[in-house]
Structure 1
Amino acid sequence: MAFGKKRLKWNVEQNNQGLDPEIQNQGPLSICLSENIERLQSIYKDCSDIIFRYFLIGNNTNTVLIYLDGMSNIEEIDQHVLLPLMGQETDSDVQSILKKRLTISGVNEVSTFNDVVKEVSSGNPVVLIDQQPAGFSTGLSKWEKRSIQEPTAESVVRGPRDGFIEGISTNIVLIRRKIKSPNLKMKTIQVGRYSQTEVAIMFIEGLADQTLIEEVQNRLNRIDIDGVLESGYIEEFIKDHPYSPFPQILNTERPDVTAASLLEGNVVILTDGTPFVLIAPTTFYSLLQSPEDYYEGFLSGTLIRWLRYFFLLIALLLPSVYVAILTYHQEMIPTSLLISVAKSREQIPFPALVEALLMEMTFEALREAGIRLPKNIGSAISIVGALVIGQAAVSAGLVSAPMVIVVAITGIASFLIPRYSASIALRMLRFPIMFLAGTLGLVGIMLGLLTIIIHMCTIRSFGVPYLQPMAPMKKSEMKDVLIRAPWWALKKRPHWTGEYNQTRQSSSQKPSPNKENE
């Protein structure tokens, strides 16, 4: 208790000294430059990378340039700020200086300490002039950034090769290259007390419902946290059902997927410092769609989609079905196969459930190890490790050969799911269904499936049912769920919430075969 009182007293003293940035950064700038410098130096105490460059405008007007070392373009500062201002007579006010002296396009006036701190922390140098109640910031930020590359987690055979990077301004440009309409709107907010992370909300006016836009903005404004370092922070704060294993917001690194979602009336959330963009709302079927489904022919896209749905069931149920049949329903296995399986399990000391759990956990550990290891050896280690451990386990009599085959097929099936977040959800649900299969047999599997389906029917993503358009049934949107209809047949865009623009294209787009002139 004494320690708590001492800590509370220290926090009060700290706030009284002005160390809390929420308190210290408030207030307008003074016309006295020395007072402004003194207060800013107290704010940036023990910040050796904040540079205060003093110089004169004319012969007697004191001026200071404040910038963040490593995030500001020094060459541009010398050429476009210091050189035009030094050696010239001062003007009457800041606006005259901005109009006559500076050859910089990105110039903003700052009138409060909060504005100064915000601009300097973003890498934009700030100029403060004596006897002026305001200063100005110059858009001369510069830092190292990753080049635009193809996303490794969402690679395609046919399609664009560019992907988002950690800079939000670059990501916005990549989206605007896809959608050049002025109806593409953007709203920007700051999230995080200390990180002040820039978050942008993008939507197409006339396609996205205004209620959806306001709901996304309200949920973002309610976030009160010290810092946001990745879009995953925001996703956990704004999703409807935080305890559900299923992802309710789509994340992607691809600008083409983002542009396609905007054209369907979705709202996109971009976060500075991460290449992952959030798309809301989303449905379960959106997580099982790949951008390549729409770049290839509709027949191949439909076939691959069916293959994906089939292997989704395998990834979720195959080990459980094997355990249930082997434990309770041996009569379902053909006699010759049953004899072969029984022979392989003759020396196995564990029941089928323990054997399946042992192999599944080992496979998941190898998969995670392959991700964490360096890329040049990670895949080799995971594959060789699986082969060596599987063969050694069979030779030692710990597991049977059919179980190794079942686990291998299950692992391959999980890789067919396009979205990593959806794959993780299925991997999590596989284990409780295996327990049900080991205790209740096929009845337990059916109970587990019914529980999952009922849970998915209750989930909503920003008011949109998670299993739409199958539950509730919407026939007009079924052309892009179990099948991928031709583009000329996809005349209407999905209906998410509220009012929406139904028509995606004109009604006369179906190609007609050419007839030879007789």
Structure 2
Amino acid sequence: MGSYNNVHRVIKRLQGKKKKQEAQHSDSSHNDSLSPNLEENVTAIKQILGNSPDVRIRSITIPLTKNKKIKAVVLSIDGIIDQQAIREHVIRPLKEEPIDDVGELLDAIQQRIYINEVTVTKALKESLPKVLKGNTLLLVDGLTEGLLINASKYESRSIEESEAEQTIQGARDGFIESLQVNISLIRQRIADPHLHFETFEIGEITRTTVVIGYMSHIVDDALVERVRTRLQDIKVDSIESSGDIEQHIEDHPYSIFPTIGNTERPDVAVSALLDGRVIILINGTPVCLYVPYLFIESLKNVEDYHSRPYYTSLIRIIRFFAFVISTTFPAIYMAALNFHKEMIPSDMIVPVVQAREAVPFPLTLEIIITIIMFEVIREAGVRLPQHIGAAFSIVGALILGEVAVAAGLFGAPTIIIVSISFIAAFVITPITDVTALLRLLFFIGSSLFGAYGLFVMLLAILTHMVSLTSLGVPYMSPLSPFYLRDLKDTIVKFPKRWLTHRPQSIPNKKPKKVESLPETGGKQ
């Protein structure tokens, strides 16, 4: 009997807690709604937003019929709204002629406002974040509803070519920090109703606007749903750049290889859309992300699609060998000199050995110090102002290298090998950071076990690359898995007439992209 009473007491206590929580929730939702008392709403706004100098609360008087008047408040954030539009299209129409208050007063006020995007709101706490993003809130005394008026106007820089992705024959415009402008740059190039955009708001504090874009009749629906789900699952305080989104949604966040592409060029983003990819635009950054992204695209450049296929194929082959040279040259030099001297031609071995005799450091330490020195010079050249950085990168490397060799601190062959390795990395700028890490990994394996260690590291990296995916799409496509048709636009590029289908590596619903071309008589 006693145990029964105890259980009954616990149940009653739980029911009491539940009722209390429901009452608290009801009170909080009630406090969140707008009050019919205008002064109470203004006081609540000041308590939430504080005394910030950019918060503008303007009191106005709206004339009604029969010589009546009613008080109202216009809340906006200075600097992110079009003040002239608010004066000309909101305040002036409301004050010029009396408003008939026989019917719904809020509807009559809304009809007087000459701005298209006006929405009705009932909750104060839900309205204030929208005010902070460029909306204007109109509150009227005696009404429990307000109007959110979109008259935002952000300062932005002019459209100009991206410094990181310059081209000779391509377009000269680039994305900027304004999301609306970036969407318009894509709309200018794709006048098709199948181009769809979806908006997300991510970040509990920053409430950053993120937009995904895709061609609904081309893109694979599963890919869109995958991107949409991952963006919705991001629950963080802030999103500050495209890199935050990239690291939150990628399949392999701990890999050194980037599996999400990025660009500052609208034409590259449009090309990605037409291939069946999904693009991601973030408000406040000029970088557009796109998925899926394949490794082979690191060897491509936007200029490739504006040039003849023969020279483009040659340059792509050079880029591939530049990637191999950049990552393996120091490791091969280390293996040859310390483990496999038979690899060095007989005419070269005497000068190389003589150059090493005066050096006080072991070969491993010498190469590591040289690599670090070049990395420091490269980083300093990037971080310094542009007109100083370029000169510093060239002059600093030359002077340090020459002085180090003259002083006998480093051997000339070491400086040459590391220099070639670094210069080759600049040919493949999308993965320069990856080549720097691979260079060290391969060198460590080579310094420990010679050529055997180098090949083991190569095998491990290739195995890792084959296992990667980009939003579910194999990262090493079209090589693994193998798609013969896609080889027309990989290491070599075939003529445009041969590229009649979209890549099989990218899932899509419309494989064919060229229906017919004019006859040329079969001339070669």
Instruction: Say if 2:275 and 2:506, in contact at 8 Å, map to a contact too.
Output: no
**Counterparts of 1:374 and 1:418, CA distance in 2:** 19
Question: Which residue of 2 is the match for residue 353 of structure 1?
Answer: 364
Asked whether 1:291 is paired with 2:302, we answer yes
Bigger drift between 110-119 and 346-355 goes to 110-119
Question: Which residue of 2 is the match for residue 429 of structure 1?
Answer: 438
After superposition, the C-alpha distances for 1:430-479 in whole angstroms (9 at most, x for unaligned) are 11210111121111111111000000011111111110111011112111
Question: Which residue of 1 is the match for residue 37 of structure 2?
Answer: 32
Structure 1 residue matching 2:155: 3-state secondary structure: coil
Question: What TM-score do you get using the length of structure 1 for normalisation?
Answer: 0.91
The aligned runs of 1:50-449 (5 Å cut-off) are: 50-58=55-63, 59-90=68-99, 91=101, 92-99=104-111, 101-419=112-430, 422-449=431-458
Cα drift, residue 514 of structure 1: 6.4
Say if 1:312 and 1:320 are closer, same or farther in 2 by CA, change over 3 A. Answer: same
After superposition, the C-alpha distances for 1:415-444 in whole angstroms (9 at most, x for unaligned) are 00041xx21011111112101111211111
Instruction: Say if 2:276 and 2:508, in contact at 8 Å, map to a contact too.
Output: no
Structure 2 residue matching 1:345: 3-state secondary structure: helix
Cα drift, residue 151 of structure 1: 0.8
| Structure 2 residue identity aligned to 1:383 | I
**Counterparts of 1:398 and 1:25, CA distance in 2:** 76
Cα drift, residue 508 of structure 1: 4.6
Cα drift, residue 75 of structure 1: 2.0
Cα drift, residue 47 of structure 1: 2.4
**Counterparts of 2:158 and 2:193, CA distance in 1:** 27
Say if 1:398 and 1:484 are closer, same or farther in 2 by CA, change over 3 A. Answer: same
Instruction: Say if 1:290 and 1:418, in contact at 8 Å, map to a contact too.
Output: no
Bigger drift between 81-90 and 306-315 goes to 81-90
Instruction: Say if 1:298 and 1:485, in contact at 8 Å, map to a contact too.
Output: yes
* Structure 1 gap ranges (5+): 1-22
**Counterparts of 2:508 and 2:307, CA distance in 1:** 32
Instruction: Say if 2:276 and 2:507, in contact at 8 Å, map to a contact too.
Output: no
Structure 1 residue matching 2:488: 3-state secondary structure: helix
Bigger drift between 392-401 and 350-359 goes to 350-359
Cα drift, residue 122 of structure 1: 1.1
Cα drift, residue 109 of structure 1: 2.7
Instruction: Say if 1:281 and 1:462, in contact at 8 Å, map to a contact too.
Output: yes
After superposition, the C-alpha distances for 1:343-372 in whole angstroms (9 at most, x for unaligned) are 211201122221111111100110000111
After superposition, the C-alpha distances for 1:19-68 in whole angstroms (9 at most, x for unaligned) are xxxx8998332333223222222211232321110011015211000000
Question: Which residue of 1 is the match for residue 466 of structure 2?
Answer: 457
**Counterparts of 1:402 and 1:295, CA distance in 2:** 39
| Structure 2 residue identity aligned to 1:502 | P
**Counterparts of 1:94 and 1:236, CA distance in 2:** 45
**Counterparts of 1:497 and 1:334, CA distance in 2:** 46
Question: Which residue of 2 is the match for residue 494 of structure 1?
Answer: 503
Bigger drift between 50-59 and 491-500 goes to 491-500
Cα drift, residue 131 of structure 1: 2.4
Say if 1:396 and 1:263 are closer, same or farther in 2 by CA, change over 3 A. Answer: same
Instruction: Say if 1:57 and 1:86, in contact at 8 Å, map to a contact too.
Output: yes
Asked whether 1:483 is paired with 2:483, we answer no
Say if 1:373 and 1:25 are closer, same or farther in 2 by CA, change over 3 A. Answer: farther
Question: Which residue of 2 is the match for residue 6 of structure 1?
Answer: none
Larger radius of gyration: 2
Say if 1:114 and 1:480 are closer, same or farther in 2 by CA, change over 3 A. Answer: farther
Say if 1:303 and 1:498 are closer, same or farther in 2 by CA, change over 3 A. Answer: closer
| Structure 2 residue identity aligned to 1:240 | D
| Structure 1 residue identity aligned to 2:45 | L
Cα drift, residue 94 of structure 1: 2.1
* Structure 2 gap ranges (5+): 1-27
Say if 1:209 and 1:381 are closer, same or farther in 2 by CA, change over 3 A. Answer: same
RMSD in angstroms over aligned alpha carbons?
Answer: 1.9
